[in-house]
Structures are given as C-alpha cells and as structure tokens.
C-alpha cells in the first residue's frame, strides 16, 4: 500500500467521476475496510456486502457535496462504515439466533485469498530465516491462530511488550523485503550443448 | 488518537494482536483511516500475519502428504534434503520425509510465478506446470542457507539437444532470485536447478516439468 494523503482536489475529482481517482479510491479503501471488517464480521460475504454499501453511500454523499474538508476523507469513510456496520448488526439481530455473536470473525482462509500470495509467503520465509531462532519460533507460534498469546509468552518467558516489539520488527523486515529482491534475466544466459 | 500517540503506544501492533479495548480500537481506526503511515503499518502487518499463518499451516501439513507425493520427491538428491516448494498462485508444499529432510532442515525452493494462466496437474506424485504459449515464464529460486557456492538454472526442452543455462551466485540464491525464462515456444520442458560445489560435478537439486501449450 502506498503512502497517500487526501485533499480537496482529490475529493473534487471523485465528485466529478474522474476514472483514475475513483479506481485509486476503491483500491485504497478496499484494503483498509477489509482490515477493519475482518475482526467484526463472520463471513467474507458479509464483508463484501458492507464494503459495497460503504462505497455506495460515500459516493452518494460526496456528490451531494457532503464533505467539506478533503483531508478528512479517511475519517469520513470510516464513519460511514461504522453506520453501515451498525445497520448490519441490527439486521442480523432480526435474522439470527441470539446465541450467535457479532464478535465472531471472518474465516481467515477467506481473508487470505485477498492478501496472501506466493510472493508474500516467500517474504515471510525470508523474514523468519533472518531472525534469531528463538524469535523465529516465537513468531511462528504467534502466527498459529489457535495459540493463546499469554500461553506463547509463558512458553518463551517473555511479556506482551516483547511480543509487540517483535511483531513491529518483523513488520519492518517484511516491508524491507518488499523493496529488496534480485531479478536475473535469462536472456543474459549462454546457450550450451546438452 | 493522534499519530504520536499511535507510535508511542505501538497501536498498530496492539491492533494486530487484538489487544485494544473496543474504545481504543475505534479511536485507532478513526486515526489510521486518515493516516497513511498507520494505514500502511496495519495493512503490512495483516499481510505478514496472514501470509505467516499460511506458511506455518503448510509446514505443519506437509508430512501428511508423504504418501501421495513420494515419487516426486524421490527424485531429489541428498543435497536437496529439504522441503521443496512449488508455488502456483496457491502454494503447494512438497512432502517431507524423515529420510529426506530432517525436521527443521532448511528450505530449498523453486517457485513458478506469473500464475495467471498457469495450471498444475499431478498424477502419481508427478507435478507438471501447464502454461499457454506466449506467456512469460518466470521461476524463483531460493536457498536461504546458500549451501552451494554457485547454482545453475537450466531450461531444457525435452526433445531438443540444446538447453539454456544461467548461473546464480550463492548470494542471489539466498535472496530468492527471480529468473525470467522468456516466452518459450510450445513444447515439453523441464526447469532444472543444480548446485555447483567447489569441487566435483554439479548436483541436481530439483526439477519441474513445464508444458507450454499452443494457443
């Protein structure tokens, strides 16, 4: 994800239906909304439905001149998302049995399809390989969904603060890996008789 | 929450670890939707965690696949006593047997990338890549341990006496180097990875069959 700051010009382009701006907007906020909704909704379908509704309302409101400070576009999208989520919960209350909780999260396998690729997995392997063995093991345990984090901390005799810092370091390395890498073109090769 | 608060409290990490209270979580979300730096920290972190889960899950699942893919891995030399990974949009891990890879042994991977039009077929433990003619073919070679001083990547057409060959350094192999193999014409090929020791003959580490299909 690129670093991007929104402004009035950007919002004006959105209002005018500029194609590049709309595509950029959708690409940027699809990811952010997924990050937010993955912890709150139980299925991929629900996430897609809420995201779609958020985009519809954002465009409708923008075209009705409903946002006066372009720098607040992100907060605006977030607040619309909160409203849509509340309505989704209320609709769910009517449709679902009481013992089902809103706190259930979407299946990570569904989310995985949108964010994981062979390339990101290769980066993770390089990150794990580049760490001290104990930290690498700790991170592997952290990746296991079913592991209780307090239990992981006890096992490795560290506190939650250490876990946060380790995750922070891993995140930085993961980002650096994205910028690194070497590409070799086969056209530079020589032909040989087999 | 402002950016200084978010940094000081490691809010992105707490968010990813699900450690924030509902109020803190809402405040951080309100912030990161407007803060490109924190937004990047969150999306980068989620991608790391989800990819990490996928990697760990595959590593845990690998031994269970021994029976069905034994023949394929039986072709690996002792030097390649490692987990072999073949990527195809979704990653499929090769088996790990006790004879071939001690637990915790190092990964040696060849990945076929550019997955849009690729399909993988398997029969009797054999693996083949099917790719339409005119599609760029690219493989990724990775040996984090760098156990050979040099490596060779060969694209061999099965019915022809000539093969193309490219050498990689140890450092390149350690960094997971992408090797572009061009757009080979239709035919049956193999990509073969060899490790070149200081002394002695190159040792075959891995090979993947690739069928380039006519359009």
Cα of A165 to nearest chain B Cα, Å: 8
CA gap B97, B99 in Å, rounded: 5
From residue B58, give the alpha-carbon distance in Å to each of A75, A83, A123, B101, B106: 38, 38, 15, 15, 15
**A184–B45 CB contact, under 8 Å:** no
Q: Is A26 on the interface with B (CB under 8 A)?
A: no
Residue B52 and residue A115: Cβ atoms within 8 Å? no
Say which of B19, B33, B48 has its CB closest to residue A124.
Answer: B48
Coil, helix or strand for B133?
coil
Note which residues in 129-168 of chain A have CB less than 8 A from chain B: 129, 139-140, 142-145, 149, 160, 163-165, 167-168
Contacts with B67 (C-beta within 8 Å, 6 or more apart), sequence order: none
Give B44's contacts in chain A (Cβ within 8 Å). Answer: 1, 171, 174-175
Q: What is the pLDDT of residues A4-51, one digit of tens each?
A: 678 888 888 888 888 888 888 998 898 899 989 988 887 888 888 999
ipTM > 0.90? no
Backbone angles phi, psi at B80, to 5 degrees: -95, 25
Residue A104 CA to its chain's centroid (Å)? 18
DSSP string of chain A, one letter each residue: -------HHHHHHHHHT-HHHHHHHHHHHHHHHHHHHTTT-S-HHHHHHHHHHHHHHHHHHHHTT--S-GGGHHHHHHHHHHHHHHHHHHHHHHHS-TTS-TT----HHHHHHHH--HHHHHHHHHHHHTS-HHHHHHHHHHH-TTS-HHHHHHHHT--HHHHHHHHHHHHHHHHHHHH---EEEGGGSEEEE-
Question: Is A46 at the interface with chain B, CB within 8 A?
Answer: no
Element (H, E) at B203: strand B203-213
Q: Is this model's pTM higher than 0.80 or not? A: no
Q: Give B68-117 pLDDT, tens digit per residue.
A: 222 222 223 222 322 223 322 222 222 222 222 223 333 344 444 333 33
Chain A, 56 to 115: residues with Cβ < 8 Å from chain B are 71-75, 77-79, 82, 108, 111-112, 115
Cβ contact B166–A145 (<8 Å): no
Kindly report which listed range (A54-68, A174-188, B17-31) carries the lowest average pLDDT score: A174-188
Question: pLDDT tens for residues B22-71?
Answer: 899 999 999 999 888 888 889 888 888 888 888 887 776 654 333 222 22
């Amino acid at each position: 994800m690129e670093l991007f700051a929104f402004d009035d010009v950007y919002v004006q382009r959105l209002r005018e239906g500029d194609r590049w701006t709309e595509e950029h907007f959708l690409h940027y906020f699809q990811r952010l909304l997924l990050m937010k909704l993955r912890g709150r909704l139980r299925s991929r379908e629900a996430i897609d439905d809420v995201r779609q509704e958020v985009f519809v309302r954002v465009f409708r409101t923008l075209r009705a001149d409903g946002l006066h400070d372009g720098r607040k576009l992100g907060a605006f999208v977030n607040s619309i998302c909160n409203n849509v989520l509340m309505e989704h919960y209320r609709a769910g209350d009517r449709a679902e049995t009481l013992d089902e909780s809103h706190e259930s999260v979407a299946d990570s396998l569904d989310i995985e399809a949108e964010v994981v690729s062979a390339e990101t997995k290769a980066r993770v392997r390089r990150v794990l390989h580049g760490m001290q063995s104990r930290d690498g093991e700790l991170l592997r345990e952290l990746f296991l969904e079913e592991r209780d984090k307090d239990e992981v901390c006890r096992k490795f005799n560290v506190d939650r603060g250490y876990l946060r810092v380790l995750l922070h370091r891993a995140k930085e390395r993961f980002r650096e890996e994205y910028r690194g890498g070497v590409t070799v073109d086969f056209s530079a090769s020589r032909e040989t008789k087999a | 929450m402002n950016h200084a608060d978010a940094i000081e409290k490691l809010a992105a990490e707490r968010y990813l670890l699900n450690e924030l209270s509902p109020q803190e979580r809402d405040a951080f979300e309100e912030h990161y939707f407007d803060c490109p730096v924190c937004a990047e920290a969150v999306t980068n972190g989620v991608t790391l965690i989800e990819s990490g889960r996928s990697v760990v899950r595959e590593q845990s699942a690998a031994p269970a696949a021994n029976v069905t893919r034994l023949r394929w891995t039986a072709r690996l030399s002792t030097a390649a006593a490692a987990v072999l990974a073949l990527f195809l949009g979704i990653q499929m891990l090769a088996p790990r047997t006790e004879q071939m890879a001690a637990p915790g042994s190092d990964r040696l991977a060849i990945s076929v990338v550019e997955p849009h039009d690729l399909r993988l077929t398997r029969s009797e433990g054999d693996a083949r890549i099917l790719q339409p003619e005119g599609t760029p073919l690219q493989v990724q070679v990775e040996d984090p341990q760098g156990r050979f001083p040099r490596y060779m990547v060969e694209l061999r057409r099965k019915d022809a006496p000539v093969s193309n060959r490219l050498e990689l350094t140890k450092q390149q192999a350690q960094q997971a180097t992408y090797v572009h193999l061009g757009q080979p014409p239709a035919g049956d090929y193999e990509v073969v990875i060899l490790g070149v020791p200081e002394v002695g003959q190159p040792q075959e580490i891995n090979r993947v069959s690739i069928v380039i299909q006519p359009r």
